Structure 1
Amino acid sequence: MGEVVNLRTARKQRARAAKAAAAQTNRATFGRTKAERARDAANKAKRDALLDGAKREED
């Protein structure tokens, strides 16, 4: 015979695992310092300026 599973407990464990996964994603997305965000913004601005400067004029 199979093992008896309490469905309420299994549902709660599944919900906890989903919350933990969402928290991990949020930590990766929003868990950066102000200096890191500023550095990334400066790098993006520099990259965009380089690309804009390399564009050819359309006649």
Structure 2
Amino acid sequence: MGEVVNLRRARKAMRRQADATQASANRVAHGRTRAEIDADRAAAARRDALLDGARLDPGAGKDAEG
């Protein structure tokens, strides 16, 4: 005689496994690690700071010529 299996628990277990597999596939296809996201944000902040520091004042050149 075989082992008695609770079908509700078996279905839930199969569903959890399927969801975990799908989530793993989605992470590979679409996701990035937290470290990658933080590194991109830091690089953007450095780039913005560099560009803001090199910004020219539009009125500064007119006074010097006159």
**Which residue does 1:13 correspond to in 2?**
13
The one-letter amino acid paired with 1:15 is: R
Pairs aligned (count): 35
| Structure 1 residue runs of 4 or more that deviate by more than 4 Å after TM superposition | none
The one-letter amino acid paired with 1:24 is: S
The one-letter amino acid paired with 1:2 is: G
Q: Which runs of 5+ in 2 are unaligned?
A: 41-66
The one-letter amino acid paired with 1:23 is: A
Deviation at 1:29, TM superposition (A): 0.6
* Larger Rg computed on CA atoms: 2
Counterpart Cα distance in 1 of 2:11 and 2:31: 29
TM-superposition CA deviations, 1:2-52 (whole Å, max 9, x none) = 0000000000000000000000000001113465xxxxxxxxxxxxxxxxx
**Which residue does 2:48 correspond to in 1?**
none
Q: Which runs of 5+ in 1 are unaligned?
A: 36-59
Q: RMSD across aligned C-alpha pairs, in angstroms?
A: 1.5
Q: TM-score, normalised by structure 2?
A: 0.48
